[in-house]
Amino acid sequence: MAAARTLRIGLIPGDGIGREVIPAGRRILESLPSSLNLKFNFVDLDAGYETFQKTGTALPDKTVDTLKKECDGALFGAVSSPSTKVAGYSSPIVALRKKLDLYANVRPVKTTAGNSNGKPIDLVIVRENTEDLYVKEERTIEGPNGKVAEAIKRISENASFRISNIAGEIALRRQNIRAASPTSTRDQPMVTITHKSNVLSQTDGLFRETARRALAAEKFSSVFVDEQIVDSMVYKLFRQPEFYDVIVAPNLYGDILSDGAAALVGSLGLVPSANVGDGFAIGEPCHGSAPDIEGQGISNPIATIRSVALMLEFLGEEKAAAQIYAAVDGNLDAAQFLTPDMGGKATTQQVLDDVLKRL
Amino acid sequence: MAAARTLRIGLIPGDGIGREVIPAGRRILESLPSSLNLKFNFVDLDAGYETFQKTGTALPDKTVDTLKKECDGALFGAVSSPSTKVAGYSSPIVALRKKLDLYANVRPVKTTAGNSNGKPIDLVIVRENTEDLYVKEERTIEGPNGKVAEAIKRISENASFRISNIAGEIALRRQNIRAASPTSTRDQPMVTITHKSNVLSQTDGLFRETARRALAAEKFSSVFVDEQIVDSMVYKLFRQPEFYDVIVAPNLYGDILSDGAAALVGSLGLVPSANVGDGFAIGEPCHGSAPDIEGQGISNPIATIRSVALMLEFLGEEKAAAQIYAAVDGNLDAAQFLTPDMGGKATTQQVLDDVLKRL
Ligand SMILES: CC(C)[C@H](C(=O)O)[C@@H](O)C(=O)O
Ligand SMILES: CC(C)[C@H](C(=O)O)[C@@H](O)C(=O)O
């Protein structure tokens, strides 16, 4: 038998319910069937608003260094945003994405067999993760008529190309998986480019053009390429979500679209994401720190468990990922152990146990 | 009997189905009951992509001058966007909003009694209409690694204040109308401020702070003021739209949110808007030029008819507006004459006739 592959995983629970769900993610990794021949080392890392309050920085250098030098991947929980402006504080996840050049934010949104009232949704939003308004270059001028603030929206050919390229690759990979499934109804992979080039002809125009060029590559010849203006994309997403496969978008539109898509499947507590760079991936549930339910032991671990699978997928462990997805689908379809956000009464622990049982 | 008030209305059909719906809007104005004591003069004006192709400009000076000097209000249909970049072309409606300082884009989204499967939705999006990324200040640099394009997002205290102020006033006005209705379930007006200040602390931070300040005025003491980060706003809008009353947002978020809200009520063909400045209003259906159905006589005139009412509301003619809204609600609830976007088989003309009959 071949030597086990050992993956070193950074655990960054962050704030709020991040501390309740990340341990569940760790348990999933520890409990993978031994036939997969995977071993994990874990390292606990700090980031978040509480870290900021204790140390004056929301993202300690040690966290970034350890991830860079010692880890293959990581799990990130959530961070609280202070309710009023706090000098010196800025979101550590946005910084982390940039510092590790995790240029793609991948957000699959999917109904399961038992969980689609209506047509099944199975789409993924591939969000550019390093630029757009997230460069956070802002300034404020005190004018004669009051303050005027400006922010830069930056779109580069480079970043637009690589995000569109990975979107195309994800579309092909999904098609391969579908090809193996007897129930699949889609016969051609599709990528929908989202932009607002009717107003932003240079920035979003560059994104649109570059995406078209990237997706015109020979390797994507089987992919149907389409586009939607962002406002109309939100409309269509809501009216006919079953139509979409891969949606590629600049950072901010991707942020907005992925929350919109999450609403379609019932709860943000179900929706995973991965921040993906070359050879590195951070799994991150999309739900945020959820101060309203913190400490009650009822946060939904599904988004994190799916994020674990998504991270593994991008670390080349597709088989492990598939087993985790199947266990989650089993839990959801049985609908016996669901957290309150899903209309159930189960605790985080009960949902985790049920998924572990199915693994 | 008092002398009739005469309103001079510019008619700008623009492109595509704009030419089918604007005449319907005119007919509504011409057919208002004489008891309202209103007269209308109309002036036909050009704008749009076809105008650009003929004259080299999408928004002729004559159109702007006539609106400024001779009109009290206007109706705008829609404009086509060219499918690839065309040098020198830029959207005339965006320019018009700025040139006439129509600083508020008001977009009510509402289910009618017969048309809500689920809880009734009755909200309005109040979108800042002059700045944000719509200032269209862009540049492109040829870097060593390819092109980099930048756009300015500009948020001013001034514009943020006046949009928040009008949002508050709209909330109060809506509360007055509700107070007169026996079926109303909301007992307090509410304004939800939308922003992304967790990332854009200066620009969206300024919007948020200024909106808070504007809405803290004594006259708004009865208004409940709330806020939502834009991604979470889209999520909530899809999950519990019945919760919202007035949503105030910077330009781009307002653009996206209003399409999202339109999806909730079944068709963009139902959703009106008004571009409002001091003493001037342009009614504009939200649906766009819809090249797919152009020329078939089946475009839905409801969005335009409601835009006529909305325009009148902002020109101080609330009674006329209320009568038009009621006639439209009657048409929708009867569901006898509906255009294909609503699942019906009626033509534009049949829907118009049915609304006129109810007026
Ligand atoms: C917390 C916030 C900075 C973040 C973002 O805007 O990217 C979040 O909304 C997300 O989608 O991960
Ligand atoms: C056509 C386009 C420029 C416009 C906008 O973005 O404002 C449209 O989407 C709208 O909402 O009126």
Which tens digits make up the pLDDT trace of B115-126?
Answer: 556 678 999 999
Which candidate from A145, A231, A256 shows the least CB-CB separation from B231?
A256
pLDDT one-digit tens code per residue, B181-240: 777 778 899 999 999 999 999 999 999 999 999 999 999 999 999 999 999 999 999 999
Of B12, B255, B304, the one to substitute when testing ligand 2's pocket (max ligand atoms within 8 A of C-beta) is B255
Residue B84 has pLDDT above 80, yes or no: no
pLDDT score, position A3:
83
pLDDT at B117: 60
Q: Which atom of ligand 2 is nearest to the CA of B79?
A: 1
How far, in Å, are A194, A223, A230, B128 from residue A249 at the CA level?
A: 5, 17, 9, 24
Q: Give the per-residue pLDDT at A114.
A: 62
Please write the tens of the pLDDT for every residue from A12-54.
999 999 999 999 999 999 999 999 999 999 999 999 999 999 9
pLDDT given at position A180: 83
Tell me the per-residue pLDDT of B228-274, one tens digit each, with 9 for 90 and over.
Answer: 999 999 999 999 999 999 999 999 999 999 999 999 988 889 999 99
User: What's the full length of chain B, in residues?
Assistant: 359
Structure tokens, B348: 């534009």
Determine, for residues B149 and A202 on separate chains, whether the beta-carbon distance falls below 8 Å. Answer: yes
Ligand 1 binding pocket mutation candidate from B194, B199, B253 (most atoms within 8 A of CB)? B199
Nearest C-alpha to atom 8 of ligand 1 is from which residue?
A255
**In this structure, what token pair is assigned to residue B124?**
């309005």
CA–CA dist A191, A78 (Å, integer): 29
Does the pLDDT value for residue A115 go beyond 60? no
A259 to B140: CB separation less than 8 angstroms, yes or no: no
- Smallest CA-to-CA distance from A273 within A247, A303, A251 is with A303
**Is pLDDT at A350 greater than 80 in this prediction?**
yes
B231, B257, B271: best to mutate for the A interface, most A CBs within 10 A: B231
- Give residue-wise pLDDT tens across range A49-73: 999 999 999 999 999 999 999 999 9
Contact A156 B133 (CB under 8 A): no
For A1-121+265-359, CATH gives: 3.40.718.10
The single residue listed with the structure tokens 């319907």 is: B24
The yes-or-no verdict on residue A292 having pLDDT over 60 is yes
How does the average pLDDT of chain B come out, rounded?
A: 94
Residue carrying the six token digits 């209309």: A343
When pLDDT is averaged across residues A117-133 and rounded to a whole number, the result is 91
B137-179 pLDDT per residue, tens: 999 999 899 999 999 999 999 999 999 999 999 999 999 988 8
B91·A198 Cβ contact <8 A: yes
Helix, strand, or coil (residue B303): helix
- How confident is the prediction for chain A on average, in pLDDT? 94
Strand B190-195 versus strand B246-249 pairing type: parallel
CB within 8 Å: B138 and A200:
yes
Q: Torsion-angle region of residue B132: left (phi > 0), alpha (psi -120 to 50) or beta?
A: left
Contact residues on chain B for A256, CB-CB shorter than 8 A: 230-231, 234, 256
Q: Where are the domains of chain A?
A: 1-121+265-359, 130-247
Question: Measured between CB atoms, which of A139, A153, A262 is closest to B235?
Answer: A262
**Shortest Cα distance, chain A CAs vs residue B103, angstroms:** 16
